[in-house]
Structure formats: C-alpha cells, structure tokens
Amino acid sequence: MDARMNETYVRLVCPDCDKDWEASPDDLPAHDEEFSCPNCDATRRTAEFTRTERDLETLKQFK
Ligand SMILES: [Zn+2]
C-alpha cells in the first residue's frame, strides 16, 4: 500500500539543470543550509531549490 499521498513533501527544482523532483522535509537540510543537486551536484541553499513559495514554507515549517 502506498501511503505517499498522505505524506508531506517539498517540490524541488534545480536552478542549474532544471531537474525537478519531490522530497520529504526529513530528507532535506534546513532552508538556509547548503544542499547539492543529486543530478548535477550544484550546491546552493536549500531555499533556492524549492519550486514555489509554498514549498519553501513547507520546508521551513518542518525545520
Ligand atoms: Zn542540478
């Protein structure tokens, strides 16, 4: 059974390579910490990977 629909997730997009994906806030660093794109290894603050303001708020809420 897939419970993913009920889980909180943050939608991400890489500003460098345009990879887009979703991740649980548990698997991400805080918004003001550095994070590396799993596709191209670009390192930026996690906040720069969040797709929308709402995704950023979700991340902040859980960190
Ligand atoms: Zn990338």
Ligand 1 center to residue 47 CA distance, Å? 14
Ligand 1 center to residue 44 CA distance, Å? 10
pLDDT in tens, 30-41: 999 999 999 999
Reported pTM: 0.86
Is pLDDT at 5 greater than 90 in this prediction? no
Ligand 1 center to residue 59 CA distance, Å? 19
Number of domains present in the structure of the chain:
1
**Cβ neighbours of residue 49 closer than 8 Å, sequence gap 6 or more:** 12, 13, 14, 15, 35, 37
- What residues make up the domain containing 57? 4-61
Ligand 1 center to residue 40 CA distance, Å? 4
How far apart, in Å, are the Cα atoms of 46 and each of 12, 14, 15, 21, 22?
9, 10, 11, 13, 13
Of residues 19 and 7, more confidence is placed in: 19
Ligand 1 center to residue 36 CA distance, Å? 8
- In this predicted structure, what is the pLDDT of residue 63? 76
